[in-house]
Amino acid sequence: MNIKYRAEIDGLRAIAVFSVIIYHANIKFFNHHLFQGGFLGVDIFFVISGYLISLLILKEIKLTNKFSFSNFYERRVKRIAPALVFMLILSTIASYFFLFPISFVIFLKSLISSLLSVSNLYFWKEGNSYGAESSLLNPLLHTWSLSIEEQFYILFPISIFLIHKFFKKHLIELIFVGILISLIFAQYCSMNHVVFNFYALPSRGFELLLGSLLAKLELDRDRGGGQNSYLILNKIFPITGLALIFYSIFLFKSEMLLPSFYSLIPVVGTMLIIWFAHKDELITRILSCKIFVFFGLISYSLYLFHFPIFAFARNINLNEADVVYKILLILLNVIISIVSYYLVEKTFRKKKYPFQKIIIILLISVFCLVCITIYGLYKNGFKDRVPSIFWLENLKNQQPIDFNSKGTNGNILLIGDSHADALSFKLNENLTKESYNLTYLNTALFTPNLNLFDYRTNVLNKDFKIINDKIKNLLDNEKNLIIVFHQRWTMTILSTYFDNEEGATEYLREDDKYWNVIKKDSCCIDELQRINLVQKEIISSVDLMLAKGHKIILVYPVPEMAFHVPKTILKKTKKIFINHLNEENVPIITTSYEVYKKRNKLIFETLDSIQSSNIYRVYPHQHFCNTLIQGRCIGNSKNEIFYFDYNHLSLKGSSFIVTDIVNTIKRVDK
């Protein structure tokens, strides 16, 4: 069952895909991000998909009073699967040459989730905040939207068929109810479950269903797509729709926590164009011009390949600030997409191309990808491609830690955030040898009198209160604990990421701010007041521990690097392929010791001000700063890497600090 081709919808697709591409390219104009709301291109795609798929389904049901599920899914497989699998194959090959073992393992896991059409759920469970630096390095992050569409394609035809069979007269009402429920759900989750909200089909459902509503109204009233008799509206509303879309693309920011009620602005803009487009109207003529239509036709391939291209470029640290380099990457994306469209998409969508043959090719391809994934995971990301200092097991522990509870020499409590977590494996390993028990409680900061708020929504993080109450109860009930207290102190106080003042900042995007802010309550206070409040609370928290009779080992700030150490080593060697690395050409990566001291001056003063005979101090910077190179803090040596990313210590890096901690514990416990 075919539907009338509408060139202006391909024009809309072109706008949607290039808004996403330019957003991910992170192009600046006079220090302003072009298309800072470009991620909304996906929302435009959802409306278009909902409209076209629903029009296809409903028209077939209306004309034949039945629906062929086999024909529908055959068309969907031809439309989606070949190009997707082609992209996955090329990305897997590229990953072998461009990704370090730890990144390759993550890639392979996301590859399986993409093949199973659940990558949106995978990225949600992994906590991948869309747009954050760690996510931008994953070549397959963009497949989350494809998984949502694929889930929609599975559920929607069945739902529509059943509704049409048993509740035919109420189809519009039921679609409207679905839209309302989804929109309210998205608004609620945008304030309370941010990551889940972004990736969840129920949160995106209203965008797809609004497209479905247009399709149903068009079939019932024979309107839309140039059939509208209200000619004055044909002239006004397409312009209004395009204005709403560009307003959203240029002015929306990721802090708005979409999808939510705000999403209605670009969504309604898209609906106005679809409904009121007319062949004699200006916007329709513009969107229907050959260049827009061409890029709309190849928009699926453009979307498929743009993110892997940018992700691989980021992984090998190509010059992110160079606009020329970004334009070249976009051109590369266009070239690959043209090849994909003509050689893959069009070939497999030809009616004369046997569907059985397509299925066989796809099954063989998927089988090969699954085999590569299983073998790649077994081989720890094909670690033999690189020197052992880059191996996953030498950089970061990947297994749950079985914390020792059978020791006879006493109990050690580790309190802290991800920086403390980076110490936990080696600390547990060494304390087990010394017959000590270790308990680790993870918290953004142990502050019983303060709370944690999302800076975008000012919503309280309830888990923060729960874990800090748990720590307080443990301190009250246990006697004579030795507490190791370690945080990424300075970022916790200042809520700012690290700038090494030599051209490197920890994250590429200005939007990648510290998402959580520690303060007393939800009311707004001066930033200096907030900093002073947190500073005093750190002192108060340590005093609370001391008052309970516990002994405390304060672990001072770990030097931050501002760049991903393993990837920067690759860049400094001027090697594009990681399997060209060898231990002889490994450069030493450093940052300024003076910058370290300046950034951490406040926390040094804060911790130094706490005086007690039960306070002991460990200084990580003594192992990394003014050692190999005077005035510099090192991220690696010729045969060891001390960080597995921008600021977290690797297993080797943590071993230096753990040795100091264990020696201090033995001295304290005499």
Confidence class for position 235, pLDDT limits 50, 70, 90:
confident
**Helices and strands of the chain, counted as H and E runs:** 28, 11
**Tens digits of residue pLDDT in 433-467:** 999 999 999 998 999 888 888 777 777 888 888 99
**Tens digits of residue pLDDT in 332-357:** 999 999 999 999 999 998 877 888 99
Q: Residue 359 above 70 pLDDT?
A: yes
494: its two tokens: 């200042």
CB 210 within 8 A of CB 50: yes
What the chain holds in terms of domains, given with CATH numbers, is 7-385 (no CATH), 399-559+601-628+651-668 (3.40.50)
User: What pLDDT score does 349 carry?
Assistant: 87
What separation, in Å, do the N-terminal and C-terminal C-alpha atoms of the chain show? 83
CB 145 within 8 A of CB 306: no
User: What pLDDT score does 230 carry?
Assistant: 56
Confidence class for position 166, pLDDT limits 50, 70, 90:
confident
Q: Residue 517 above 70 pLDDT?
A: yes
The mean per-residue pLDDT over the stretch 115-140 comes to 81
456: its two tokens: 């975008």
Q: Residue 311 above 60 pLDDT?
A: yes
| Mean residue pLDDT across the chain | 89
Residue 417: CB partners within 8 Å, gap ≥ 6? 442, 443, 444, 445, 487, 488, 492
Distance CA 136, CA 121 (A): 17
Distance CA 462, CA 453 (A): 9
Shortest CA distance to 635 belongs to which of 610, 656, 653, 661? 653
Q: What is the DSSP string of 7-45?
A: HHHHHHHHHHHHHHHHHHHT-EETTEETTTTGGGHHHHH
Q: What is the DSSP string of 351-382?
A: TTS-HHHHHHHHHHHHHHHHHHHHHHHHTTTT
User: What pLDDT score does 423 carry?
Assistant: 96
Residue with tokens 């992110």: 320
Q: Higher pLDDT residue, 343 or 323?
A: 343
Confidence class for position 583, pLDDT limits 50, 70, 90:
confident
Confidence class for position 432, pLDDT limits 50, 70, 90:
very high
3-state DSSP helix/strand/coil % of the chain, to nearest 5: 65, 10, 30
Radius of gyration of the chain (CA): 28
pTM for the predicted model, two decimal places: 0.86
Q: Residue 568 above 70 pLDDT?
A: yes
Q: Residue 228 above 80 pLDDT?
A: no
**Tens digits of residue pLDDT in 113-123:** 999 999 999 99
User: What pLDDT score does 10 carry?
Assistant: 95
User: What pLDDT score does 226 carry?
Assistant: 46
